[in-house]
A and B are shown apart, each in its own frame.
Chain A
Amino acid sequence: MAAAARGLVERGLLLFSALASFFVLLLVLPLVALYAGVKPGVLGAMLSSPEMREEILGGFRVALLASLIAVGILLALGVPTAYVLARYDFPGKRVVEGVIDIPLALPHVVAGVMLLEAYGSWGLAGPLLRRVGLVIEDHLAGVVAVMAFVSAPLLVDTVKVGFQSIPESLSAVARTLGASRLRAFRDIELPLAARSIAAGSLLAWARGLSEVGALLVVAYYPKTVNILILEYLSIYGLPYAVTLAAVYATLTLGIFAALRVVTRS
Chain B
Amino acid sequence: MIEVEDLVVRLPGFTLEVPHLEVGEGEYLVVLGPSGVGKTLLLHAIAGLVAPARGRIVIGRRDVTREPPERRGVALVPQDYALFPHMSVLDNIAYGLRVRGIPRWEAYGRARAYAEALGIAHLLHRRPGSLSGGEKQRVALARALAVEPRILLLDEPLASLDPQARARGRGLLREIHESRGVTVVHVSHNIVDAATLATRVAYMNGGRLECTCTTRGFLESPYAEPYLEELRPLAGLLGGR
Contacts and interface: CB of A to CB of B under 8 A. Distances in A.
B230 interface: no
B187 interface: no
Interface in A84-134: 89
B86 A172 contact: no
A191 B86 contact: yes
Interface in B82-111: 82, 84-86, 95-96, 99-100
B147 A178 contact: yes
A57 interface: no
Nearest to A171: B82
A73 interface: no
A172 B44 contact: yes
Nearest to B140: A173
B160 to A, nearest CB: 13
A191 B76 CA distance: 22
A187 B96 CA distance: 11
B99 A179 contact: yes
Interface of A: 89, 167, 169-170, 172-181, 183, 187-188, 191-192
Contacts of B175: none
Contacts of A167: 80, 82
Given A178-B70, A179-B70, A173 B76 contact: yes
A172 B99 contact: no
A180 B99 CA distance: 9
**Which has the most chain A C-beta neighbours within 10 Å: B44, B47, B68, B70?**
B70
Given A167-B82, A172-B49, A192-B85, A177 B68 contact: no
Given A167-B80, A169-B78, A172-B69, A178 B100 contact: yes
Contact of A175 (B12, B70, B85, B86): B70
Contact of B47 (A176, A179, A180, A191): A176
B72 A176 contact: yes
A187 B99 CA distance: 10
B74 interface: yes
**Which has the most chain B C-beta neighbours within 10 Å: A167, A176, A177?**
A176
Interface residues of B, number: 29
18 contacts: A89-B12, A169-B80, A172-B76, A173-B78, A173-B82, A173-B143, A174-B84, A174-B95, A175-B48, A176-B75, A177-B70, A177-B95, A177-B143, A177-B144, A177-B147, A178-B70, A178-B96, A178-B99
Contacts of B143: 173, 177
Given A169-B82, A176-B153, A181-B68, 17 more contacts: A167-B82, A172-B69, A173-B82, A174-B95, A175-B68, A176-B75, A177-B70, A177-B99, A177-B147, A178-B70, A178-B96, A178-B100, A179-B95, A187-B84, A187-B95, A188-B84, A192-B85
B214 to A, nearest CB: 28
B86 A192 contact: yes
Interface of B: 12, 44, 47-49, 68-70, 72, 74-80, 82, 84-86, 95-96, 99-100, 143-144, 147, 149, 153
A192 B100 CA distance: 22
A183 B99 CA distance: 8
The 3 closest A-B pairs by CB, nearest first: A177-B96, A169-B82, A175-B69
Nearest to B151: A176
A187 B100 CA distance: 13
A178 B80 CA distance: 19
Contacts of A89: 12
A180 B85 contact: no
A62 B77 CA distance: 52
Contacts of B70: 175-180
Nearest to A181: B68
A180 B95 contact: no
B4 to A, nearest CB: 17
Contacts of A187: 84, 95, 99
A162 B96 CA distance: 25
Nearest to B85: A192
